[in-house]
C-alpha cells in the first residue's frame, strides 16, 4: 500500500484557500518582476548590460 493512500483528504475549503493563496503569490511575483524592470530601467540597465560578462 502506498503512503499517499493513507493520507487524509483535504477539505474543499482548505483546497480553496490554498488555490486563493497560490494565485495571490503568483500575482505578487508578477508585480515584483514589473517593478524590478522599472528599477533596472531607472538605473540604465538593459537585458544586454545585465547579461554581459
Are 19 and 9 in contact, with CB atoms under 8 Å apart?
Answer: no
Query: pLDDT 10s digit of each residue in the chain, 53 long?
Result: 456 667 789 999 999 999 999 999 999 999 999 999 899 889 888 777 767 76
Cα dihedral across residues 7, 12, 17, 18: positive or negative: positive
**Grid coordinates of 26:** 503568483
- pTM value is 0.66
| Annotated domain spans of the chain | 29-53
Q: What is the pLDDT of residue 3?
A: 60
**Alpha-carbon gap, residue 35 to 38, rounded angstroms:** 5
Amino acid at each position: 500500500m502506498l503512503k499517499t493512500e493513507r493520507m487524509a483528504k483535504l477539505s474543499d475549503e482548505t483546497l480553496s484557500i490554498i488555490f486563493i493563496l497560490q494565485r495571490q503569490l503568483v500575482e505578487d511575483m508578477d508585480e515584483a518582476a514589473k517593478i524590478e524592470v522599472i528599477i533596472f530601467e531607472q538605473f540604465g540597465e538593459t537585458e544586454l548590460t545585465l547579461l554581459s560578462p
